[in-house]
């Protein structure tokens, strides 16, 4: 039985003639090339792709999504519009979405010793092609930071609890070349201290005292990041969410501005 | 040093006078009582609570969120509005959110033997109190089902691949007594076969043949659930998302109607 | 076709006549009753059960594992031996394992205000029935704690980084009534400070200063817990693993004594 | 205050003079180069490193673990012994462990169309340097497969439930050049059908019928993989665990031979 003879069940008529806003594949892990701080970087992404399905068509063509992934070049804020338009064309539809989530790395030098190592961040790039032909792009990061509690510092004779926090930013770029590393910089600048992978003793001293000198509530972090993003020339709109994994509780404090 | 003498750092003025849409706690695990199929059920929930913070206030009062959780009675679609209003009152604000996610269980009898056991489902109840004083409630479920591929069945001389799928429904109730079990029924009715925890051999025969007789694409599942929810008298609006953990791939097929 | 006529494929001969050490079900979520601090507690467990399969039998009888779960009474260190023996009997075999993992809760009063709320812990109970008829029981907990770094404190003029850590203990009881709450006490006593869900301002002051007064490396925590467990009359043997989710790094420090 | 003046708290005496079997870092994500099917491959690994700590030393030197990671060359079964010996030397100890877990990819051509795409697998490489100077290496994979139930096929007039399963192999190599791809081949040969990322309609027909022609219980899979690994010239010893994510249940069937 050859391919041409096999019935194309997907093209039959559906029982319920409803449009499906998004249909496709998700959870596909694939090696991708992206750009971080202007440099090419290879990473492993988790991909989600979808298209609009018209009321008259029963099924989409799932294998074409994987073919689209196979043909990916560099995945960046700049290339996303072409990627999602290509996907729509392959599936013969007007609306489509593409999202790649991936770890990325930046080299960080410790503040005193200068010893350097890579810090890992979570990034994502999302594109939504709408019926009007426009592509909405989102550049997304999740950045680990140190936060130190201002209340704990103020009310205690000594010490102050600190913890690991995460700054999640979702930005609509005003400029196509918005880089995930630029969002990392905004997040780290708002924190009590940035995170490092490698710290020697004199670095740890500086980071400890620096965090104590810069206490920040989850609310302070959210507002500080929001103020920076509002003023950022490459960012049109954004949401920011902070999650502090409180060291004195087994739950998180969080704040969101959108 | 007594409490009254400790400085209230949260009440000081923030550097950036921005409102914060949501600030509170998340990831708090707590035993809660809910209602499933009209019956009381004890479960363990993961809770997320937040309030609006005005531009002039630096911080919220995190301990009050936990006090609010401590005072929870039964958490159900019916009780959610009072819960979220109580939260807003405790925090002296106009906007608030409350969300509880939890596993819940329904007893399912196998179709031939009648042998019964519990099947686990994911549920969530979400309430958002807006500035206008209105509370928007969502009743959410994630239901495991069996799906069998119509294309695989049609193009093959024998056999057809099947897999576990998940039907996720997010419903705005038109009636305050919308029960998570009612959403489970909608999801299972659309599937190739419902899931059971306990099947004897003659049950497995019936489930196997039943699934083969009712093949359904991820698109069919989404449309069938959407049609049922549209017609459901207790549901005002909804979104549905299907995820099939394909047995022939290491990624999922998915479809979403909203 | 009635049940008696259906072929019992599991009883046919396997191609490779090898014994299978463990075969059964895992990832079954079920409501269970356990005991915490001597009191009955309802929770939701994730269950894993297995038996030995002889070289001559092709398959086990999966439905009997679920029937075994359906008939569970209270799951505790005391009841585990009977549970795993019953499982072996149902499956007509000499070796069997049973494991239940579940969250459990203890009410904790804040150290100054006395305000109280529940703290969540991870527990597990494991039983292994061996060929010699003996049952080995393990009582397992994972306890969140606060840890404050002694090096950071010592080398800095002020402040010291703290973070959330987890103390995981796996204990073979010398006494059948070993309670998960007793292991929690050991873990919390070794920490810089215990975790609370609810802290008012004067509590936070006390916890902050208490942690600063009790700095502990991941190594200190491991040794302190190990020393307590060695001296514990109800514990025959143990392993302990500490994981500190460092607030100055995006990775953990860990230590293990076994 | 310069580095030389800072007190070295780690070198002070511990309260409890107990050896610590393993102390180090875990959860460090780092880009690494490995070898897959004899070819170099870049991936993102999650790393765990530890050393033995003598009873007289209070703390290890955490930054040296990260320095060790910074200096990593290719991570493979062949290079692991040198990596873990280097780690022990940096930390001035006799025992050490190194483990890298990472996704890796193999290009798979669909069986009829020849269309090809990458399939993702989980791999891990572990090395344990013991007191006697020997290094024990483990090569670990987790391979997605299709499994089709022999009982369901036999007792039903038509159809048979299938699902995604995972074959986890942990092998001690007899030959230093044991490649993760060789373990994948063993796992896929035992399955009802291998997994593909990209299948056209005629491929799906072949895979569907192939799985129906090769039904396999979780027990069959475990024994078949065990028989292959026993006969494999590059493997000294192993354990294998199969997990089938049953499409008719919301739990897994599993089997383990070790």
Look up the ipTM and state it.
Answer: 0.95
pLDDT band at residue A1 using 50, 70 and 90 as cut-offs: very low
* Per-residue pLDDT at A3 exceeds 60: no
When the pLDDT of each residue in chain A is averaged and rounded to a whole number, the result is: 96
CB nearest B226 (choices: A9, A18, A27): A18
pTM: 0.96
3-state secondary structure of D81: helix
% of residues, chain B, pLDDT over 90: 94
pLDDT of residue D1: 41
Given CB atoms, is C117 within the 8 Å cutoff of chain B? Answer: yes
pLDDT of residue A12: 84
CA atoms of D99 and D50, how far apart (whole Å): 9
Task: Express each pLDDT in D99-149 by its tens digit.
Answer: 999 999 999 999 999 999 999 999 999 999 999 999 999 999 999 999 999
Average pLDDT over residues D165-170: 98
Interface partners of chain A (CB pairs < 8 Å, 3 or more) are: B, C, D
CB nearest B18 (choices: A28, A223, A254): A223
Are D66 and A6 inside 8 Å of each other by CB?
no
pLDDT of residue C1: 41
Task: Report DSSP state, residue D111.
Answer: T
CA atoms of A110 and A113, how far apart (whole Å): 6
CA atoms of B168 and B241, how far apart (whole Å): 5
pLDDT of residue D4: 53
Assess contact for A22 and B256: CB atoms under 8 A.
Answer: yes
* Per-residue pLDDT at D2 exceeds 60: no
Contacting residues of B for A24, CB less than 8 Å apart: 253-255
Task: Express each pLDDT in D220-245 by its tens digit.
Answer: 999 999 999 999 999 999 999 999 99
pLDDT of residue B4: 53
> Which residues numbered 235-254 in B keep a CB inside 8 Å of some CB on A?
243, 250-254
Task: Report DSSP state, residue B88.
Answer: H
Better pLDDT: B14 or B251 = B251
3-state secondary structure of C166: strand
Contacting residues of C for B72, CB less than 8 Å apart: none
pLDDT of residue B1: 41
The pair of structure tokens assigned to B239 is 């979104």
* Per-residue pLDDT at A232 exceeds 50: yes
Dihedral sign, CA of D211, D213, D214, D218? positive
Mutate to test the interface with D, among C11, C17, C27, C63 (most CBs of D within 10 A): C27
CA A92: distance to chain centroid? Answer: 28
Assess contact for D91 and D74: CB atoms under 8 A.
Answer: no
Task: Express each pLDDT in A138-190 by its tens digit.
Answer: 999 999 999 999 999 999 999 999 999 999 999 999 998 999 999 999 999 99
CB nearest C58 (choices: D10, D15, D217): D217
What residues in chain C have per-residue pLDDT under 50? 1-3
Length of chain B: 258
pLDDT of residue C4: 54
* Per-residue pLDDT at A196 exceeds 90: yes
Which residues are CB-neighbours of D92 under 8 A, at least 6 positions away?
A: none
* Per-residue pLDDT at A231 exceeds 50: yes
Assess contact for D248 and B195: CB atoms under 8 A.
Answer: yes
Are A144 and C250 inside 8 Å of each other by CB?
yes
pLDDT band at residue A122 using 50, 70 and 90 as cut-offs: very high
């Amino acid at each position: 039985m050859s391919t041409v003879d096999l019935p194309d069940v997907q093209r039959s008529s559906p029982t319920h003639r409803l449009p499906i806003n998004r249909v496709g594949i998700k959870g596909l892990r694939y090696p991708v090339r992206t750009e971080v701080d202007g440099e090419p970087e290879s990473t492993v992404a988790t991909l989600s792709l979808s298209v609009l399905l018209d009321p008259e068509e029963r099924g989409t063509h799932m294998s074409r999504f994987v073919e689209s992934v196979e043909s990916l070049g560099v995945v960046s804020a700049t290339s996303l519009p072409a990627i999602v338009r290509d996907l729509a064309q392959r599936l013969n539809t007007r609306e489509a979405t593409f999202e790649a989530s991936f770890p990325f790395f930046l080299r960080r030098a410790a503040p005193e010793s200068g010893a350097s190592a890579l810090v890992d961040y979570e990034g994502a790039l999302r594109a939504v092609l709408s019926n009007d032909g426009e592509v909405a792009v989102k550049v997304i990061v999740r950045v680990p930071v140190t936060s130190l509690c201002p209340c704990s510092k103020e009310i205690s004779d000594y010490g102050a609890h600190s913890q690991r926090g995460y700054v999640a930013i979702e930005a609509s770029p005003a400029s196509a070349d918005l880089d995930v590393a630029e969002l990392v910089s905004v997040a780290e600048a708002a924190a009590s201290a940035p995170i490092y992978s490698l710290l020697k003793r004199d670095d740890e001293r500086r980071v400890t005292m620096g965090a104590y000198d810069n206490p920040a509530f989850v609310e302070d972090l959210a507002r500080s990041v929001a103020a920076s993003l509002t003023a950022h020339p490459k960012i049109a709109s954004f949401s920011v969410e902070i999650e502090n994994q409180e060291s004195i509780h087994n739950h998180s404090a969080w704040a969101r501005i959108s």
